[in-house]
Structure 1
Amino acid sequence: MDTTKLPKMLYGGDYNPEQWDESIWPEDMRLIPLAGMNIATVNVFSWAMLQPNEDTYNFETLDRIMDMLHKNGIYACLATSTGAHPAWMARKYPEVLRTDFDGRQRKFGGRHNSCPNSPVYRSLSTQLASKLAERYKDHPALLLWHVSNEYGGECYCDRCEAAFRDWLRAKYGTLDKLNEQWNTRFWGHSFYDWDEIVLPNAQSEQWSSDRTCFQGISLDYTRFNSDSLLDCYKLEYDAIKAITPDLPVTTNLMGTYKPLDYFKWAKHMDIIAWDNYPSMDTPTSYTSMTHDLMRGLKNGAPFLLMEQTPSQQNWQAYNTLKRPGIMRLWSYQAVAHGSDSVMFFQLRRSVGACEKYHGALIEHVGHEHTRVFRECAQLGKELNSLGNKLLGSRLPSRIAIMYDWENRWAIEYSSGPTVDLKYVDEVHKYYRALHEQGYQVDIVSFEDDLSPYAIVLAPVMYMVKPGMAARIEAYVAAGGKFVTTFFSGIVNENDLVTLGGYPGELRGLLGIWAEEIDALFPGQHNRIVMKDALGTQLQAGSEYNCSILCDLIHAESAEVMAVYGDDFYKGMPVLTRNPFGSGEAWYVASSPDADFLQGFLGALCDNSGVKPLPGKQPGVEVTLRAQEDRSYLFVLNHNAAEVFVELGEYAGVDLLTGEPVAGQVPLAGYGVLIIEQFA
């Protein structure tokens, strides 16, 4: 989707007029434009309305909704409704119902209760998508297609089991290869017929969602499940594209959602869209990292913020209100990290069922005289004033963090060495250390080109996929700086250990050998003791805490920069640097505290000529979006109190006020600056 062709940033959200009497619709059409909104996501959960039985389709209500949106100058993000099948379908075709982890077939209810490998579900959902595309292909309101909604969940039915066997045949070709890669001679699991293979669930190999007897089997099932749901999406995508080839198609992702490999999904999405629901106590850096991950799914292209709440959520244990200014601040945070939209769930608060207490533009009182509406209207006025200036601009970065869903699955399926190792948490530690110092970061896949970056970080690269080691070696040899950590280089893509000593294929690059891995109890620490100074940030003899896992490593060609301070491995390396070609490879053998990571990464950036953005101080976030002839510095104050930010040599015009900005400037609590500077 080329957002540069839009007249202004998309602003709006999910709208469900079919849930209301039509006498209310005219008031909605007064209030939504009054808030400055220009897009509505419609038809998300309307399958039962559109198709009351298998042989009947009724689009009359949706026709009126689409015509109403166009008449009032509102774009339609048109959903296919296939995220929840109708009750008649479950009754007539029980095969569409999922079977859960414990082997029980579900009944009708909830949503995403459709077996992704049910031929009936696939056929009927694709037919509906085709009929919608054919009916609305020329409708003037239609801007964007939205397939299903927040894909997720698993199914363990007989059809999925048969499809899993087919998927395995395609991957491995022979049972001999499968037995080898799953190491099935362990516990006498050798398979002699494809039909002997069963799904890993509570009835077979797994005793919980993340604990399994055979990591290879569970890892492949997770891949298969992600692929199965992706196939459902692709069927609808292809049906829509066959009729409306020039209209963009997407679905709404969920950030770091574990079960689906979003890098793989992104290849089949015209633009990335995602739903952002942090808690009030979610670290700012975590939300920023997730925005950057979503931007990274399509090589840094702008994305859409498809959902957030304007006030409060309804599904958390404690659903705190967003304090005045927070909704605006968090909306601009998304824009600062690459979003070309600000959208909400929802525009009118539901009257019943489980989301009736989820926030909305129009509250149950039904008018505009509320704090939430006033804040949304003010934001709409500001976004409209920006026009299309920011659209299509990107975030230039010289630092990348590598992220991989399959790597995460493999780590967290592992039986040992510790239950406390959580992949996303370790990635976030490194991201946060850079974010807190004002460095801009890209999140990239294990397949992406590394050459644009001065520094590449790969925390806990447990899984080394085919060709990865050679690509990283080439990057470092050409002058790049590469950093990886404990529990890296351990296994291949099927979770088989690479023999010959950890870190496996990375051993030559890193110049170390990891002999053992020690797991520390919760609250237990070792110490990192610097041998020599590393820039001005880490002084010789300075000490820092480390925890979770400690690799006991031997330096082969690597230089020892820091050692452990405690236990029987006191004095063994914990931080090493290995020159390789024109670059260098670093290894961090434990999980360090924040002070160490800020010092280490700050020094690495200094030595690489990578500069932080201006305006950074505690509680203040900075990013930079850029186009050919201009840049936009975002300065976001996440503090409740006013601060003064120093912009250094960066000067320009604040897009939100039109005033010139330079030097040291005040920024109100929860305030936002967007400073335009021409090249």
Structure 2
Amino acid sequence: MTQPLFDRFYYGGDWNPEQWDESVWLRDIRMLEDAGINEATINVFSWAQLQPSEDEYDFSTLDRIVKLLVDHRFGIVMATSTAAIPAWMARRHPDVMYADENEVRHHFGERHNPCPNSPTFRKYAPRLAGKLAERYAGTPGLVAWHVSNEYGAYCYCENCRAAWIAWLKNKYGTIDAVNHAWYTHFWGHTLYDWDDIAVPDKLGDEWEPGCATLSGMSIDYRRFMSQSIKRCFTDEKTAIREYDKTTPITTNLMSVFMDIDYFDLGKGMDVISWDSYPRYDFPASEVAMRHDLMRGVGGGKPYMLMEQTPSQQNWQPYNSLKRPGQMRVMSYQAIAHGADTVQFFQLRRSIGGTERFHGAVISHADTENTRVFREVAQLGAELKEHGKEYMGGRVDSQVAIMFDWESYWAMFYSSGPSVLLKYVDQIHRYYAALYRRNIQVDMIPSTTPADRLARYRAVLAPALVMVKPGVADAVDAYVRGGGRFVATTMSGIADEHDQVFLGGYPGAFRELCGSWGEEIDALPPERPVKVRLGDGGVAGAAGAGREVEGTIVAELIHPVTSRVIATYASDFYAGMAAATVNEVGDGKAYYVGTDLDTEGMDWFADVLARDAGLRTVETPDDVEIRVRTYDDGHRLVFVLNNGGETRAVDLPEDLSGTSVLDGGRIAGLFDLEPYGLRVIRL
């Protein structure tokens, strides 16, 4: 069963009243109520105020903020304030500040500034979280605890080095095992003693981002740092649980942020929350993919959209305004993909500091008479009336894509074949082709067992560089049981230590795919390769018989037991296989050796959909259709125009029904206005 996260749909965001004179607070509350706001996330960066010295705590300002919110029946997300430490702590305990990749310990300032292995930080952060829980547990309207904020900083100090060596001793047992795992014979890097181990930074074996002498070592350090950060979260969660046994505890994630394995961190979170800040030029499919990834980190359960902006960011190269209606449709896109809240950073725009030009519900104009405020109020009215009906639905998907943070790291450290070969881009290339057909997708960890893979008609593993123990066996069992599996160039090539499997690519999936790769040609942007498409073994596949372009890489593939479904049509390898399919048991395994252009990807998605029996729905560019299914059997269909042009939508009969927003009948052909949407009850 899939349950709603909360008893009502929370619509709100970050509120920082401690930054302003208290005379502003009540005015804010009244304006926010006018906008339909019913939740505030507070106390995110207040450690300096809450703890002015070593053993002194002052909750008086926070008490007044909490009372005001309680009096006005707001939901409260209470943060622990531990993302930025107070100045006195940095002065008295320098070990608390992180050291960067040059081993330079930073001064007081910035954000994400603590060392996650600092004994000082690990003492004071849980203590503060515990005192907050002791004081505010049971507060009326307390929705969730929000630990830290956007975890992220790596550290390379002596405390981290010592903790890392202890971690390695626990993992490997002997220095010989470390040498084997890291392939230290390369460049004469043999280790003789634990004291020979240095952190992989710019002074050692990571001389610049993405360049590592021993990728196995760098990946292990990323595992260690990711787990160190997770432990910081767990320390605070444990302290909160001493006083509050039931309120959900979360921390806000950042979708495809590389430095933390969110599948691992997510195991310790009661509810997933994340911050959505797409660039102005992000396609809607990229935003949708990130929503699906965050839902996947939570095991498919509803999640919180903890932060988005109502208008613009402040930290990107081009901080474009959201166009009229765009914030509304992006909020509904989050709901359609599994969100049970819509929240903003920020509720009031600050007048100083680096985020003073970041968008907010209440702008520097300090009035309700703004475009953004009116749009926020429109959405607030809709969510007040209908939001509870949106909550708790699951997203039933026919297809899964494996997303693996350790493969992400392995690709980052891959010295070759091309600088254009980037992990998230490879995932999105396949996701986007499915998205264009309105095929719902789950993002799953690579370690998903075979019995859970079996719920999907197709499973894709683009650029799954690292194949951990048990993964290849699970995929093999899935395919033999009737599933469709897709591997690509860079899939399956290395073990958990990032050492290459011999025998040809795709390594661990070579026999399953019935093909082996000999070489990988890197294609500069000005030199794509021609690819001639076949029918993929299914009648009527879109694009069959045409020539398209392959870019970035072209792998030279030898079929063994597989059948060729696309061939190269230029360069010296013209006539060689560019893509194959292999029948294994009751299923099939596909292998694609180049980055096909949009027409080529549409052909492949069409082949896969026809072969796997996937339900597709045709819509114009920019329009997506998503369905949430509820335990009582009803479904909601979200039809979203993510673009700035009116689009004509022809809705299939089985997706036609009653409009949630106005009660009218929605069926057949209709025009969907720019950034418009329909929510249909079946």
Do the aligned partners of 2:535 and 2:607 also contact (CA within 8 Å) in 1?
Answer: no
Describe how 1:110-129 pairs up with structure 2 within 5 A: 110-129=110-129
Kindly state the Cα deviation for residue 542 of structure 1 after the two structures are TM-superposed: 1.5
C-alpha distance in structure 2 between counterparts of 1:141 and 1:530, whole Å: 59
Do the aligned partners of 1:295 and 1:303 also contact (CA within 8 Å) in 2?
Answer: yes
The answer to whether structure 1 residue 560 and structure 2 residue 564 are counterparts is yes
Do the aligned partners of 2:2 and 2:301 also contact (CA within 8 Å) in 1?
Answer: no
Do the aligned partners of 2:398 and 2:439 also contact (CA within 8 Å) in 1?
Answer: no
Instruction: Identify the residue that residue 647 of structure 1 maps to in structure 2.
Output: 651
Instruction: Identify the residue that residue 489 of structure 2 maps to in structure 1.
Output: 486
Q: Structure 1 residues 78-87 or 221-230, which shifts more? A: 221-230
What secondary structure sits across from 2:499 in the alignment? Answer: coil
Q: Deviations over 1:449-471 (max 9, x none)?
A: 31110011111121111011100
Describe how 1:314-333 pairs up with structure 2 within 5 A: 314-333=314-333
Describe how 1:611-630 pairs up with structure 2 within 5 A: 611-613=615-617, 616-628=619-631, 629-630=633-634
Instruction: Identify the residue that residue 360 of structure 2 maps to in structure 1.
Output: 360
Residue-pair matches, total: 676
C-alpha distance in structure 1 between counterparts of 2:4 and 2:557, whole Å: 51
C-alpha distance in structure 2 between counterparts of 1:370 and 1:172, whole Å: 60
Q: Deviations over 1:249-305 (max 9, x none)?
A: 000000101111101011001111000011221111100000010011122111110
Instruction: Identify the residue that residue 473 of structure 1 maps to in structure 2.
Output: 476
Which amino acid in the other structure matches residue 459 of structure 1? P
Kindly state the Cα deviation for residue 2 of structure 1 after the two structures are TM-superposed: 8.1
Do the aligned partners of 1:249 and 1:269 also contact (CA within 8 Å) in 2?
Answer: yes
Do the aligned partners of 1:40 and 1:74 also contact (CA within 8 Å) in 2?
Answer: yes
Given the alignment, which residue of 657, 664, 667 partners 1:662? 667
Do the aligned partners of 2:13 and 2:307 also contact (CA within 8 Å) in 1?
Answer: yes
Instruction: Identify the residue that residue 386 of structure 1 maps to in structure 2.
Output: 386
The answer to whether structure 1 residue 373 and structure 2 residue 373 are counterparts is yes
TM-score normalised by length of structure 1: 0.98
Do the aligned partners of 1:8 and 1:386 also contact (CA within 8 Å) in 2?
Answer: no
The answer to whether structure 1 residue 311 and structure 2 residue 311 are counterparts is yes
Describe how 1:284-295 pairs up with structure 2 within 5 A: 284-295=284-295
Q: Deviations over 1:343-397 (max 9, x none)?
A: 0000011010111111111112222111111110110000111141121101111
Which amino acid in the other structure matches residue 149 of structure 1? N
Structure 1 pair 236/435, CA: closer, same or farther in 2 (3 Å)? same
Do the aligned partners of 2:439 and 2:615 also contact (CA within 8 Å) in 1?
Answer: yes
C-alpha distance in structure 2 between counterparts of 1:374 and 1:531, whole Å: 53
Instruction: Identify the residue that residue 569 of structure 1 maps to in structure 2.
Output: 573
Do the aligned partners of 2:310 and 2:361 also contact (CA within 8 Å) in 1?
Answer: yes
Q: Deviations over 1:20-62 (max 9, x none)?
A: 1111111011111111111100000000000000110001111
Instruction: Identify the residue that residue 596 of structure 2 maps to in structure 1.
Output: 592
Do the aligned partners of 2:535 and 2:541 also contact (CA within 8 Å) in 1?
Answer: no
The answer to whether structure 1 residue 603 and structure 2 residue 603 are counterparts is no
Do the aligned partners of 2:623 and 2:641 also contact (CA within 8 Å) in 1?
Answer: yes
Instruction: Identify the residue that residue 97 of structure 1 maps to in structure 2.
Output: 97
Structure 2: give runs of 5+ residues left out of the alignment: none
Do the aligned partners of 2:467 and 2:493 also contact (CA within 8 Å) in 1?
Answer: yes
Structure 1 pair 526/5, CA: closer, same or farther in 2 (3 Å)? closer
Kindly state the Cα deviation for residue 6 of structure 1 after the two structures are TM-superposed: 3.3
Describe how 1:207-606 pairs up with structure 2 within 5 A: 207-448=207-448, 449-532=452-535, 534-538=538-542, 540-606=544-610
C-alpha distance in structure 2 between counterparts of 1:453 and 1:413, whole Å: 31
Q: Structure 1 residues 605-614 or 482-491, which shifts more? A: 605-614
The answer to whether structure 1 residue 173 and structure 2 residue 173 are counterparts is yes
Do the aligned partners of 1:613 and 1:623 also contact (CA within 8 Å) in 2?
Answer: no
Kindly state the Cα deviation for residue 664 of structure 1 after the two structures are TM-superposed: 1.6
Which amino acid in the other structure matches residue 39 of structure 2? I
Structure 1 segments of 4+ aligned residues over 6 angstroms from their partners: none
Which amino acid in the other structure matches residue 230 of structure 1? K
Do the aligned partners of 2:5 and 2:340 also contact (CA within 8 Å) in 1?
Answer: no
Structure 1 pair 433/539, CA: closer, same or farther in 2 (3 Å)? closer
Instruction: Identify the residue that residue 673 of structure 1 maps to in structure 2.
Output: 678
The answer to whether structure 1 residue 87 and structure 2 residue 94 are counterparts is no
Kindly state the Cα deviation for residue 639 of structure 1 after the two structures are TM-superposed: 2.6
C-alpha distance in structure 2 between counterparts of 1:530 and 1:504, whole Å: 25
Do the aligned partners of 1:636 and 1:672 also contact (CA within 8 Å) in 2?
Answer: yes
Structure 1: give runs of 5+ residues left out of the alignment: none
Q: Structure 1 residues 115-124 or 1-10, which shifts more? A: 1-10
Which amino acid in the other structure matches residue 456 of structure 1? V
C-alpha distance in structure 2 between counterparts of 1:578 and 1:505, whole Å: 15
What secondary structure sits across from 1:207 in the alignment? Answer: coil
What secondary structure sits across from 1:243 in the alignment? Answer: coil
Do the aligned partners of 1:440 and 1:613 also contact (CA within 8 Å) in 2?
Answer: no
Instruction: Identify the residue that residue 25 of structure 1 maps to in structure 2.
Output: 25
C-alpha distance in structure 1 between counterparts of 2:298 and 2:643, whole Å: 32
What secondary structure sits across from 1:576 in the alignment? Answer: strand
Instruction: Identify the residue that residue 16 of structure 1 maps to in structure 2.
Output: 16
Which amino acid in the other structure matches residue 662 of structure 1? A
Which amino acid in the other structure matches residue 220 of structure 1? D
C-alpha distance in structure 2 between counterparts of 1:5 and 1:674, whole Å: 20
Kindly state the Cα deviation for residue 531 of structure 1 after the two structures are TM-superposed: 4.3
Which amino acid in the other structure matches residue 585 of structure 1? A
C-alpha distance in structure 2 between counterparts of 1:280 and 1:501, whole Å: 41
Identity %: 49
The answer to whether structure 1 residue 136 and structure 2 residue 130 are counterparts is no
Kindly state the Cα deviation for residue 648 of structure 1 after the two structures are TM-superposed: 1.7
C-alpha distance in structure 2 between counterparts of 1:237 and 1:535, whole Å: 55
Do the aligned partners of 1:3 and 1:340 also contact (CA within 8 Å) in 2?
Answer: no
The answer to whether structure 1 residue 634 and structure 2 residue 638 are counterparts is yes
Kindly state the Cα deviation for residue 141 of structure 1 after the two structures are TM-superposed: 2.8
C-alpha distance in structure 1 between counterparts of 2:416 and 2:121, whole Å: 39
C-alpha distance in structure 2 between counterparts of 1:156 and 1:408, whole Å: 21
Do the aligned partners of 1:489 and 1:502 also contact (CA within 8 Å) in 2?
Answer: yes
C-alpha distance in structure 1 between counterparts of 2:568 and 2:247, whole Å: 57
C-alpha distance in structure 2 between counterparts of 1:497 and 1:667, whole Å: 50
Kindly state the Cα deviation for residue 7 of structure 1 after the two structures are TM-superposed: 3.8
C-alpha distance in structure 1 between counterparts of 2:153 and 2:210, whole Å: 14
TM-score normalised by length of structure 2: 0.97
Kindly state the Cα deviation for residue 245 of structure 1 after the two structures are TM-superposed: 1.4
Structure 1 pair 555/178, CA: closer, same or farther in 2 (3 Å)? same
C-alpha distance in structure 2 between counterparts of 1:116 and 1:257, whole Å: 18
C-alpha distance in structure 1 between counterparts of 2:70 and 2:6, whole Å: 16
Instruction: Identify the residue that residue 38 of structure 1 maps to in structure 2.
Output: 38
Do the aligned partners of 1:412 and 1:421 also contact (CA within 8 Å) in 2?
Answer: no
Kindly state the Cα deviation for residue 3 of structure 1 after the two structures are TM-superposed: 5.9
Kindly state the Cα deviation for residue 172 of structure 1 after the two structures are TM-superposed: 1.1
What secondary structure sits across from 2:61 in the alignment? Answer: helix
C-alpha distance in structure 2 between counterparts of 1:461 and 1:76, whole Å: 40
Which amino acid in the other structure matches residue 181 of structure 1? A
Kindly state the Cα deviation for residue 539 of structure 1 after the two structures are TM-superposed: 5.1
